[in-house]
Amino acid sequence: MLSVAAPLRAQELEPPSFPIDDIWLFISKVGEALDADPERAEEIDEQISNLRDFADLFENPMWLHGIDVVTPGYTREVPGEARPETGDVGLSEIWIAGWDGLILHSSDDGGHWERQETGIISHLRSIDFVDELRGIAVGHEGAILRTEDGGQTWAGGTGAGRGTHLSVDCIDAASCWLVGEYSSVYGTEGGGRSWQRLAMVPTRALNTVKMLGAETGLAGGTRGIWRTEDGGRSWERVFVIPEISSVDDVQSISGIHTADGTNVWAVGRLDGGLAILKSEDAGRTWFSQTANIWPPELLDQEQFTEPSTLRATAVYATSADNAFVVGTYGIILATDDGGAGWWLELLTGDAFLSFHALVMRDARVGWVAGNYGNVVATNWGGSEWVPVHGPIIEFNRAAGEILGISPGRFDLGDIGYLLAMERYEEAWELADRLTAGDRPDAETVEFLESAYYEHGRDLYVDDRFPEAAVAYGRALALAERYPSVDGVDIGRLEAKAKSYFERGRSLRSDHRYDEAIADLDRARELGETLLREDPQTSGRTDFLARIEYYRGLSFGYSGKFDEASAAFDESIRLDPDYKYPRRSLGMLAFHLGNYELAIDQLVTAISIDPEYESVLNFVAWVYATAGLPEYRDADKALTHVQAALELGRNAERLDTLGAAHLLASHKEDALAAYRAAISLEEEYAVQLATDLRYLGLLEGEGTPTPEALDAALVACVEKGMTPQYLSENVERVELLAGRDPALARRHLAVLQEEYPDHPDVRRLLEESEGWPEE
């Protein structure tokens, strides 16, 4: 059995004790200390040189998500094909994919690394090579890259949409499969030059795909594991994750792998923790091996019992008996008995050192990649791991020789570290001490402003809006306290404007609209000052356009529709190609019954971005359900919603498809669309039940039986009713009654003709007698 002991310990891979974004400040502080101690400077000259070399690597945090290896003497990895059990072969070519279009390459088993030029900045999530020359990498924003010269040049691929691609798998140089968000499966027979959608799988996302051959394959995601036997054109769910428990604890399959095509492992997070599943019949049936992890107390540690912490991210099998699993907190597990026992080989215990990607050349030699560019390797079957790449490891080695020079000179670095470790209160306490009393130096002020600002951005991305607003508030407090460090400073003025803007966005997302508007107004004032002071700098007008857009959103959500419309108009004036204010203005116009303006703005947004999925769906809804019949157009509704569905399938778009078919009197097609939406998303069935009750077609409360819901849906379609149409238009009439009584009466006349017996329509008719004439 494999040894539990591992020579690579957590302390050798600890996070940096300085801010990653300010390594040059760290180096400058070291230089200041050495100026006062020339003998010490000469002694550690080599370490200082190393610090400068490694500082460049920290410009990009380098989250690594995909890895593959090709070794001369080994044939292409094909499930079921025997692989050598020794490492007595030539040096391996290794490729690793990561953030910001990063592809790292080593041609000597990981001894040396170079960055290959990809020409993109999108995050890459998966990479697969079929030989030393030909490979494909995929990632965010529809990124697909292919090379035919070992990565010296990379070219794009087309036809797979603009969503996030999470996994690619090739069985030879021509045939590859691709999965990702929006549940699409794509295939190529041209080596990645062009792709076509093969199928849609009913799940939020597919994280991984592994083909067992040209026809048989497996894919895993947020709702389970699926299997295909026709090359990906149709999929059957073979393992079910019943439901996603919460946003904070998503249950999903992250990786699938097999060596022989029969014994297959899948890993991820299930039932609140790390999970290992195995199939012994090529993925048809599955059972759990999670309980086989040794030592068993590993999964009981307090830090791993909270949501979204410990999870398995990747698995790699080298035979029916040997396999490896990696995950968050730097975990590496291994088995040599088919999974009867999984032994802990490495655990850094630190989220900074999580691993995301794994590849094995054979049962002895392999590489693991993860956060901050760290790559570790084994030549001993996993019983020992050593670092082969990673700026944190190397930088700490060099910095560790220097940190004793002048204790207390690295307080700013301590703040960066505390923020990175989410020890916020300690970071704020230290920052307050540094800015107490006399005016701090410019370096300290600028660093702290930047730290608060970046911290706010991280919190905003994590949907922690109240905390983000507090962080931006700290940046602004410093900016107001020290308005200028060295006279007029455009950079500091711009930083202040951005902090007001970002806090305004955070407050809007926290539903504090009046506060958001006040911050955005201040950002606008500063932005206009910047435009006057520095008109040639690119981006000033775009920044003002973004401010106006979020002002419009804040006004709109607080019910100030005229102010919202004016802000959206100004945003469009500043940047006519900015699609988001056109979308929001179109939606607001629809809400207010101004269908001509709604259609004009939404169609223009689509002309700017023909694959603007949400707007394609919404303009279809306008054409299908406009409250005034002269704006309805079944053909246009169907054309737009079908275009949206081509880009991604969800319940909202299927609901729109049902409405479009009803307008066209395609009742069977409408019924099929609504049923498909119910089967795709449970939340949709709840909303549909609410609409059907409002129409008087469904009785009772709570969750209806599937039979009762379907019977009410059939009745709704037979009557030609569109769910949500009536409630939406009743709300519109109520809103317009106080704003534009004449338009409200026009809408009410249509409702009276279409739903003469509904109690809310009768109520509005009675109330309309008291509406003003103008």
706 upstream amide cis, omega within 30 of 0:
no
Q: State pLDDT tens for residues 680-689.
A: 888 899 999 9
Question: Tell me, what DSSP letter sits at residue 486?
Answer: S
Asked if the model's pLDDT at residue 409 lies above 80, the reply is no
Q: Token digits for 64? A: 């690594």
Query: The pTM is what?
Result: 0.52
Q: State pLDDT tens for residues 328-345.
A: 888 999 999 999 999 888
Query: Span 534-563, mean pLDDT?
Result: 87
Asked if the model's pLDDT at residue 208 lies above 60, the reply is yes
Under the banding of pLDDT at 50, 70 and 90, the label for residue 5 is very low
Distance CA 173, CA 378 (A): 28
What's residue 377's pLDDT? 85
What's residue 417's pLDDT? 47
3-state DSSP assignment of residue 405: coil
Beta strands in 212-339 (DSSP E): 217-221, 224-228, 236-240, 252-258, 264-270, 273-279, 287-288, 293-294, 312-317, 323-327, 332-335
- In the chain, the domains with their CATH numbers are 1-55+226-236+244-409 (2.40.10.500), 62-79+91-200 (2.130.10.10), 726-768 (no CATH)
Q: State pLDDT tens for residues 552-594.
A: 999 999 999 999 999 999 999 999 999 999 999 999 999 999 9
The backbone region for 381, taken as left when phi is positive above 0, alpha when psi lies in -120 to 50, beta otherwise, is: left
What's residue 774's pLDDT? 63
Query: Lowest mean pLDDT: which of 30-39, 257-266, 292-301?
Result: 30-39
| Beta-carbon contacts of residue 583 (< 8 Å; ≥ 6 apart) | 601, 602, 605, 612, 614, 615, 618
What's residue 191's pLDDT? 85
Asked if the model's pLDDT at residue 325 lies above 80, the reply is yes
What's residue 715's pLDDT? 95
Beta strand 293-294 pairing with 342-346 = parallel
Distance CA 37, CA 115 (A): 37
The larger pLDDT score, comparing residue 71 to residue 431, is at: 71
Q: Name the most confidently modeled range: 271-285, 465-479, 529-543.
A: 271-285
- Tell me which residue of 458, 456, 447 sits closest to 482, measured CA to CA: 447
Q: Token digits for 441? A: 């130096």
What's residue 351's pLDDT? 66
What's residue 419's pLDDT? 58
Averaged pLDDT score across all residues of the chain:
82
Query: Lowest mean pLDDT: which of 255-264, 351-360, 750-759?
Result: 351-360
Q: State pLDDT tens for residues 128-156.
A: 999 899 999 999 989 999 999 999 999 98
Under the banding of pLDDT at 50, 70 and 90, the label for residue 749 is very high
Q: What percent of the chain has pLDDT over 90?
A: 52
Helix H or strand E encompassing 662: helix 651-663
Asked if the model's pLDDT at residue 205 lies above 60, the reply is yes
Distance CA 725, CA 769 (A): 24
Cα dist. 758→552, 761, 764, 765 in Å?
Answer: 35, 5, 10, 11
Asked if the model's pLDDT at residue 173 lies above 50, the reply is yes
Under the banding of pLDDT at 50, 70 and 90, the label for residue 7 is very low
Asked if the model's pLDDT at residue 530 lies above 80, the reply is yes
Q: What is the DSSP string of 511-528?
A: T-HHHHHHHHHHHHHHHH
- Tell me which residue of 574, 568, 573, 566 sits closest to 541, measured CA to CA: 574
Exposed/middle/buried for residue 420 (C-beta within 10 Å: 0-12, 13-18, 19+):
buried
What's residue 22's pLDDT? 47
Asked if the model's pLDDT at residue 226 lies above 90, the reply is yes
The larger pLDDT score, comparing residue 59 to residue 99, is at: 99
Under the banding of pLDDT at 50, 70 and 90, the label for residue 53 is low
Beta strand 312-317 pairing with 293-294 = unpaired
Distance CA 249, CA 227 (A): 25
What's residue 91's pLDDT? 79
The type of residue at 735 is L
Distance CA 2, CA 323 (A): 12
- Tell me which residue of 683, 647, 681, 645 sits closest to 661, measured CA to CA: 645
The larger pLDDT score, comparing residue 478 to residue 297, is at: 478
Under the banding of pLDDT at 50, 70 and 90, the label for residue 397 is very low
Q: Token digits for 212? A: 């067992």
What's residue 19's pLDDT? 40
Query: Span 223-251, mean pLDDT?
Result: 82
What's residue 111's pLDDT? 73
Q: State pLDDT tens for residues 30-48.
A: 555 555 556 655 655 655 5
- Tell me which residue of 76, 71, 74, 143 sits closest to 107, measured CA to CA: 71
Query: Lowest mean pLDDT: which of 2-6, 265-269, 450-454?
Result: 2-6
Instruction: Give the torsion sign (CA, 277, 279, 285, 291).
Output: negative
Asked if the model's pLDDT at residue 493 lies above 70, the reply is yes
Q: Return the residue matching tokens 């003003």.
A: 772
Query: Span 1-15, mean pLDDT?
Result: 30
Q: What percent of the chain has pLDDT over 70?
A: 79
3-state DSSP assignment of residue 560: coil
Q: State pLDDT tens for residues 413-423.
A: 556 545 544 55
Query: Lowest mean pLDDT: which of 174-183, 483-492, 619-628?
Result: 483-492
Query: Span 533-550, mean pLDDT?
Result: 81
Asked if the model's pLDDT at residue 479 lies above 90, the reply is no
Distance CA 47, CA 231 (A): 55
What's residue 374's pLDDT? 81
